[in-house]
Structure 1
Amino acid sequence: MSDIPLRIYHNNRCSKSRAACQLIAEKGIAAEIVDYLANPPSREELRALLDKLGMKPVELVRRGEAVFKEHYAGRSLSDDEWLDALVAHPILIERPIAVRGERAVLGRPPEKVLELL
């Protein structure tokens, strides 16, 4: 699996995301770091990520963000509506997400990313 590139959807302001990137770097693994706030995934990319994670869109939502509290708290949305929310407000996407080939993990805790090595 070492020849399959590793991609990390990252937010540099997030300590868990920084820790995951540091763990990968300490292992000597070169990873493509995607600042997903500057370059958010499309709806199709997000759907593919969720499939690899084995998660529903609502499971990827950060509930502590102001935009969640203002617009989504207490609401029951469909998978498609949550996908729309994640695309419209990428800050709601939980991070970091590490992807290698057909596998992905949510780096909570950051050590989870090591499962892809």
Structure 2
Amino acid sequence: MYTILHNTRCSKSREAIKIMEESGKDFIIREYLKEYLTFEELKDILNILKIKAIDLVRVNEKIWKEEFMDKEFTNDEIIQIMIDNPKLIQRPIVLKNNDGVIGRPVENIQIFLNTK
């Protein structure tokens, strides 16, 4: 079973849902702006994606630019910033077991589906 971390207001995220539906694969949708991720869940996702926390941050978001840009943070501090401001989390993210992909570009999702 696949899980997609989804933001209904994001066009790329909506495209990802369409790709998942067209694939015929079973998946669940987690609207992470309504059903918040925990610190441990986000840390696990980073481990699955094999990236640092900063690589999952939407650095062009206004809140990042105004409050956090040009400051130094540890990986755990950045995770906490994303937990406190989930809008900063890149989306969509598709996960299955201990593997996953960020759907930017959305073609990454098709590649992921074809290899899992």
Structure 1 residue runs of 5 or longer lacking an equivalent are: none
User: CA separation in 1, counterparts of 2:54 and 2:36?
Assistant: 17
Is 1:16–1:107's contact at 8 Å kept on the other side of the alignment?
A: yes
Two-structure CA RMSD over aligned residues (Å): 1.0
Structure 2 residue runs of 5 or longer lacking an equivalent are: none
Aligned residue for 1:26, secondary structure, equals helix
1:104 aligns with 2:79: no
Moved segments of 4+, more than 6 Å: none
User: CA separation in 2, counterparts of 1:64 and 1:18?
Assistant: 20
**1:21 aligned residue (1, 17, 22):** 17
Which amino acid counterpart does residue 101 of structure 1 have in structure 2?
N
User: CA separation in 2, counterparts of 1:30 and 1:100?
Assistant: 10
1:46 aligns with 2:57: no
Is 1:23–1:111's contact at 8 Å kept on the other side of the alignment?
A: no
Aligned residue for 1:45, secondary structure, equals helix
Q: So what's the TM-score if we normalise by structure 1?
A: 0.92
Same amino acid, percent of matched pairs: 36
